Structure 1
Amino acid sequence: MSDPLLTRLTPPDVGKDLADRVVDTFATTTGPLGEVLVARSTEGVTYVRPVDDPDGFRAEYRRRLGRPLVPDDRSVPAIDARTRVDLRACSSFERDVLDATASIPAGQTRPYGWVAREVGRPAAVRAVGTVLARNPVPLIVPCHRVTRADGSLGRYMLGEAAKARLLAAEGADLDRLAGFTTAGVVLIGSDTTGIACLPSCHHARRITDAHRVPFRSAAAAREAGYRGCLVCRPGM
């Protein structure tokens, strides 16, 4: 699996006693939704959360990562999808899930089941949801691009309104996608190519009304003789 996040991760080092490392720091910086609290190790960003509870931020960091935080009085760069992260405190499964999520193109969405297939655990949809609900670095690893199976946006740790705002800022046509969800459409086929895509795939966006074939399931698309898009990989 090819993913852009992997090049920004430090090598897995789960066996190392992380408590022996230099104490991590935290500061306020900006992200796509405004100000956030950011914790950093010497290798990259380790944790991102809203700015409303600094004491709770430090306590939760200590609980989850097992080490303290100290304030950083230096200027911290704004965060975005290109920011280097340090996910060594995550399990291998958690890193796989976050890597797959980071490969979703901006302005597009993928269901939880897609992420589960990408990491080779197609039955682990609920476990994938748990990992993303606890994503240590939202706004960097874009868990806002992961949706329910029917295409509806679903929950987001920073709020459903924030999820919609992020996707809209990336160019997603939320009204169009909501229309497909309401109609029960989970795949869009092209009768000129015989290829079926997830509705948010950039190839699906180019299918004109006259050649668009809606499907309510991958099985229905297969039975109609369609094959899955190699870009969005809808699991057919």
Structure 2
Amino acid sequence: MSDPLLDRLAAPDPGAVSLDVVDTVTTTAGPLGDVLVASSSAGVTFLRPADDAGFRDEYRRRVGRPLVPADRPAPPVTARTAVDLRACSPFERDVLRATASIPAGQVRPYGWVAREVGRPAAVRAVGTVLARNPVPLIVPCHRVTKADGSLGRYMFGEAAKARVLAAEGLDLDRLERFVSTGVVLIASDTTGIACLPSCHHARRITDAHRVPFRSAAKAREAGYRGCLVCRPGL
């Protein structure tokens, strides 16, 4: 089934954004509390915590358009909120689209996103894009972790990242057990398939048949192949 958010993020570059367009700004509710939201006629263009004092200046610098107060309240922000990413570069949109494909209740490392966009060596560039994600909470950069599976930084704060992931169904205690022992892949000795730890297939592997790996290279050497759902890079 087609995902409307992914379809929007996959749309061709519509070209230059007109500088004489005026966007609106308002405060609305989000899953982590109130947020400042800038919107064009096509959707949300920029979102930040409600106490972000530099919101307007950053918006003008990045998007190049003025902001005026909205004449009506915005609906609460959810993962289905429409977005307008015309001000992003093609690479930025590719990264945001790959990030939007991560299922709720699961996480992926930055390297996974880099592979998904066809730039496996661009892990640092992917991290930069997600650190500047114009629409966090809608495009779920909170579902992207460090290479070892630890949560890492988040613009709303690390505690908020943990809170929103737990609300989405991620078992943080289970994830931490793998992180603390250096496990980055979980395989099944019955199927010969290796998954990222939060993949829903990995969660079905029983203790008796679970084979942990600390690297993709070790899993490959042992003859395991990668899960077709979470695509761990084997």
For residue 191 of structure 1, what is the amino acid of its counterpart? Answer: D
- The answer to whether the 8 A contact 1:11-1:88 is kept is no
- State how 1:1-236 maps to structure 2 within 5 Å: 5-9=5-9, 11-14=12-15, 16-20=16-20, 22-53=21-52, 56-236=54-234
Cα displacement (A) at 1:58: 1.1
Q: Extract unaligned runs of 5+ from structure 1.
A: none
Contact 1:4–1:99, Cα closer than 8 Å, also in 2: no
Q: Secondary structure at the match of 2:150?
A: coil
Name the aligned partner's letter for residue 24 of structure 1: D
Contact kept, 8 Å, 2:27 with 2:34, in 1: the verdict is yes
- Where 1:222 maps in the other structure, the secondary structure is helix
Q: Which amino acid aligns with 2:111?
A: G
CA distance in 2: counterparts of 1:130 and 1:94, whole angstroms: 10
For residues 60 and 178 of structure 2, the distance between their equivalents in structure 1, rounded to whole angstroms, comes to: 43
* Residues 170-213 of structure 1, C-alpha deviations (whole Å, 9 max, x = no match): 00000100110110100000011000000000000010101100
Whole-Å separation in 2 of the counterparts to 1:122 and 1:28: 37
Across the aligned residues of Structure 1 and Structure 2, the Cα RMSD in angstroms comes to 1.3
Q: Judge conservation of contact 1:45–1:85 (CA < 8 Å) in 2.
A: yes
2:4 and 2:217 mapped to 1: Cα distance?
31
Structure 1 segments, 4+ long, off by >4 Å, are: none
Partners of 1:47 and 1:136 within 8 A in 2? yes
Instruction: Quote how far apart the aligned CAs of 1:18 are.
Output: 2.2
Q: Are the counterparts in 2 of residues 100 and 119 from structure 1 also a CA contact under 8 Å?
A: yes
Aligned residues: 232
Shift of 1:4: 5.2
Task: Report the alpha carbon displacement of residue 11 of structure 1 after superposing the two structures with TM.
Answer: 4.3
Please report how far the alpha carbon of residue 53 of structure 1 lies from its aligned counterpart in structure 2 after TM superposition.
Answer: 3.5
Aligned AA for 2:151? L
SS in 2 for 1:76: coil
Change (3 A) 1:222 1:53: closer
Amino acid at match of 1:122: P
State the Cα distance separating 1:163 from its structure 2 match: 0.5
Q: Which letter maps to 1:227?
A: R
| Letter of the structure 2 residue corresponding to residue 27 of structure 1 | T
User: 1:8 deviation in Å?
Assistant: 2.9
Structure 1 residues 17 and 108 mapped into 2: Cα distance closer, same or farther (>3 Å)? Answer: closer
- Runs of at least 5 residues in structure 2 that lack an aligned partner in the other structure: none
